[in-house]
């Protein structure tokens, strides 16, 4: 076990937190050489300092896709204790505190309320949309407008209540005129969503629409090519379907969306609700 002087230890911990912001959370070990870390004679060591020499194993493909600009580094979150990681609600509260009164991207300029997310912190099922609209911006809650009512109906059709799932968005502040978030806005905000996913640890994620699918899967593809199969993301099964706002514009696609939700139900082991 090595001893690190406090300054080296602090610098390397900051590096680890930076990797985490980029979505790199899996590490492999390799022996440390003296050129990797400065060893301070007589300095006290802690057990966790050994992990500082580990290197990240790239897992995010967003950076590999030239059509999606890489995420910008953000202010690093404080280290998360094991106890908090076990407590889903406490982990979510910590993420909310880290976001604070966020000005990390231009979307903060037009927002009334930041929309963090809503639902059961231990939900087995997570829905991810694009970003808040006018109603959500006014109330600070995701999917509360007409699209939200349709999403509630979709959740009900699965035999679940809204309180049993968790709902979040790629960006937490409303884009002007409900436009699609710009890549730099989505890439700046989405690491918070990824941390929410890590805190909730859902079994199934349903990406609502192309923007959610793009930033979760790290690839820009027509929705048709992504629907109808099970992807994986951060330990969860990921299913892609239409955004409720699109279904309001084109209700004929509701049947297709229901087929997607049935895939989610199958993955969750849910039975089709009895017809009343």
Which residues of this protein are in contact with ligand SF4, per CB under 6 A?
Answer: 99, 102-105, 107-108, 114, 171-173, 185, 188-189
- Do 133 and 115 meet the contact criterion of CB atoms below 8 Å apart? no
Helices then strands, counting H and E runs in the chain, come out as 10, 8
| CB of residue 31 to ligand SF4, shortest distance in Å | 38
- Structural contact between residues 12 and 19, judged by C-beta atoms closer than 8 angstroms: no
Q: How far is the CB of 35 from ligand SF4 (least distance, A)?
A: 37
Residue number, 60 or 187, with CB nearest to ligand SF4: 187
Cβ 53 to ligand SF4, closest distance in Å? 31
DSSP conformation class of 16: H
Identity of the residue, 95 or 160, whose beta carbon is nearer to ligand SF4 in the bound complex: 95
Q: In terms of CB distance, is 9 or 71 closer to ligand SF4? A: 71
258: buried, middle or exposed (CB in 10 Å: 19+, 13-18, 0-12)? middle
**Of residues 176 and 251, the one with the C-beta less far from ligand SF4:** 176
Closest to ligand SF4 by CB, 137 or 260: 137
CB of 102 to ligand SF4, least distance (A): 3
Task: Report the nearest approach of ligand SF4 to the CB of residue 189 (Å).
Answer: 3
Q: How far is the CB of 187 from ligand SF4 (least distance, A)?
A: 9
Q: What CA dihedral angle connects 151, 154, 156 and 158, to 10 degrees?
A: -140
Tokens of 65: 């896709």
Alpha-carbon distance 268 to 263, whole Å? Answer: 9
DSSP type of residue 73: P
Q: For ligand SF4, which is the closer residue by CB, 171 or 216? A: 171
Answer whether 67's CB lies under 8 Å from 218's CB. Answer: no
Distance, in Å, from the CA atom of 69 to the CA atom of 63, rounded to the nearest integer, reads 7
Residues 239 and 125: their CA atoms lie apart, in Å, by 11
């Amino acid at each position: 076990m090595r001893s690190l002087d406090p300054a080296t230890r602090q610098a390397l911990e900051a590096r680890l937190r930076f990797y985490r912001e980029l979505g790199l959370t899996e590490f492999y070990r390799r022996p440390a050489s003296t050129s990797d870390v400065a060893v301070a004679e007589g300095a006290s060591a802690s057990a966790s300092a050994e992990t500082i020499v580990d290197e990240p194993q790239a897992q995010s493909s967003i950076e590999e896709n030239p059509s999606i600009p890489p995420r910008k580094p953000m202010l690093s979150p404080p280290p998360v204790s094991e106890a908090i990681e076990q407590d889903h609600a406490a982990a979510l509260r910590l993420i909310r505190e880290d976001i604070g009164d966020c000005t990390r991207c231009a979307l903060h300029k037009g927002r009334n309320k930041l929309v963090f997310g809503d639902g059961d912190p231990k939900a087995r099922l997570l829905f991810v949309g694009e970003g808040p609209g006018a109603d959500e911006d006014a109330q600070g809650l995701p999917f509360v407008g007409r699209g939200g009512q349709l999403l509630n109906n979709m959740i009900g059709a699965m035999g679940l209540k809204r309180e049993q799932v968790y709902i979040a968005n790629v960006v937490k502040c409303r884009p002007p005129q409900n436009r699609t978030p710009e890549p730099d806005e989505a890439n700046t905000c989405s690491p918070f969503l990824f941390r929410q996913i890590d805190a909730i640890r859902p079994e199934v994620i349903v990406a609502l629409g192309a923007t959610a699918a793009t930033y979760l899967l790290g690839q820009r593809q027509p929705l048709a090519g992504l629907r109808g199969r099970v992807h994986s993301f951060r330990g969860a099964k990921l299913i892609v379907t239409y955004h409720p706002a699109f279904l309001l514009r084109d209700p004929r696609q509701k049947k297709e969306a229901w087929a997607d939700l049935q895939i989610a139900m199958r993955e969750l082991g849910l039975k089709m609700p009895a017809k009343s």
